[in-house]
A and B are shown apart, each in its own frame.
Chain A
Amino acid sequence: MNVGYKELIDAIIAKQTSILGEDIALKKAGKVEGLILNAFGKVAIIEGDGKKVLEKLLNEYAALTGEASILFAKEAIAPLIKENPTLGLPEKLKK
């Protein structure tokens, strides 16, 4: 599988759905500029720079659960990053 920002964002949204519930997790993701979700809550289109969209998504979740949202995001994307280690990540996910 070719892992890109779409897969990372899908994994993060799925993880946050399990923590915060579907309503809040999808509502927060829906507010991110450049991120369009389909009817199933999966990424349909990423407009513009995927890395920036990913960072905006992290900021939305951080407004609810702070640093914990970054820990969950790291946990969610860990297996995907192994498949594409060259993919550029926001600073927050590198630490």
Chain B
Amino acid sequence: MKKVAIVLLPIVLFALNISTNFWKFPSNIPFFSLAISFLLTAVAIPGFLYCVILMRRWGGVKSVMGKGFLFLGVSFLSQSLSSLLNFLFFHNSYFPPVVTVLLGCMNLFWALSAYHFLITTGINQKARTNWKIIIIGTLIIGIAMAAYGKAFTSAPYAEEVFNSVMFLLDFVLILETLSLLLHVKNFNGGILVLPALFLSFGIVFQLIGDLVTVEVFKTELATDTLSSAIYNFSWLLMTLSPTSLLITSQFAQDKNQ
């Protein structure tokens, strides 16, 4: 029963969130406004809670797996907060600096979480060092580009430079995700296959969502409802990463008792 509830919670929240987008409930009516903001925030909360439970169970900050789940949990929290702030104070019309920073943090924490999953696949020391350099390098370059774009708004190509930060992050994330997918075979026979696959495909769908929202790829099909559905689906996939491990490890414990 407990296991069913653990799995159903994120699925129900996903279905409700999709419904509010599809039927376009009027957000100017207080009840719907409250319901929509609650759903936007709540969709990532189960993922956060499951990650906290797993982080504590898998050795906390002293272990690679514990750190992986800590970073994934913080990314869920960043998403939750950015959705809430954007809906309540900025009416989804544009991305103010505070929301942009939260979304940047979310991307960074995915990269760190995927990096720790990569370590767990048993990649060699050289690959670990290379990924560490790539992540730190991307962080420094990304912050520099964002600062240039925002601080020197009249400078040449300031806006273009700022907008390119998202593509830089997406590019590094897709490389990291592909690397993780290539190494997932090392988990064969273990209980980490599904969590790693859900995390990887969750990130892939976020990146697809990013592409759909970019003006150049806008088509009749690429509506706001579609991009919202893709983002929501990606959050469901990512939530299923800790969910699958939580129910499998619980099952393993029950079986051995």
- A: which residues have CB within 8 A of B? 17-25, 31, 62-72, 75
The residues of A that contact B64 with a CB separation of less than 8 Å are: 18-20
Q: Is the CB of A62 within 8 A of B57?
A: no
Write the chain A residue with the least CB distance to B66: A21
Q: Is the CB of B191 within 8 A of A64?
A: yes
In the complex, B156 has a CB within 8 A of chain A: no
Q: Is the CB of B186 within 8 A of A21?
A: no
Shortest Cβ distance from B255 into chain A, in angstroms? 11
Q: Is the CB of B122 within 8 A of A64?
A: no
Besides A18-B62, A68-B120, 13 new A-B residue pairs in contact (Cβ under 8 A), listed by A number: A17-B59, A19-B63, A20-B65, A21-B57, A21-B59, A23-B58, A24-B57, A65-B190, A66-B189, A66-B192, A66-B193, A68-B122, A68-B192
Q: Is the CB of B185 within 8 A of A65?
A: no
Q: Is the CB of B189 within 8 A of A72?
A: no
Write the chain A residue with the least CB distance to B62: A21
Interface of B: prevailing SS: helix
Q: Is the CB of B186 within 8 A of A68?
A: yes
Q: Is the CB of B65 within 8 A of A67?
A: no
Chain B count of residues within 8 A CB distance of the other chain: 24
Could you give 17 example pairs across A and B, Cβ below 8 Å? A20-B58, A20-B59, A21-B59, A21-B60, A21-B66, A22-B62, A23-B57, A24-B58, A62-B190, A64-B190, A65-B120, A65-B190, A66-B186, A66-B187, A68-B122, A68-B186, A68-B187
Interface of A: prevailing SS: helix
The residues of B that contact A70 with a CB separation of less than 8 Å are: 122
Q: Is the CB of B63 within 8 A of A67?
A: no
Write the chain B residue with the least CB distance to A21: B59
Q: Is the CB of B122 within 8 A of A71?
A: yes
Write the chain B residue with the least CB distance to A70: B122
Q: Is the CB of A63 within 8 A of B59?
A: no
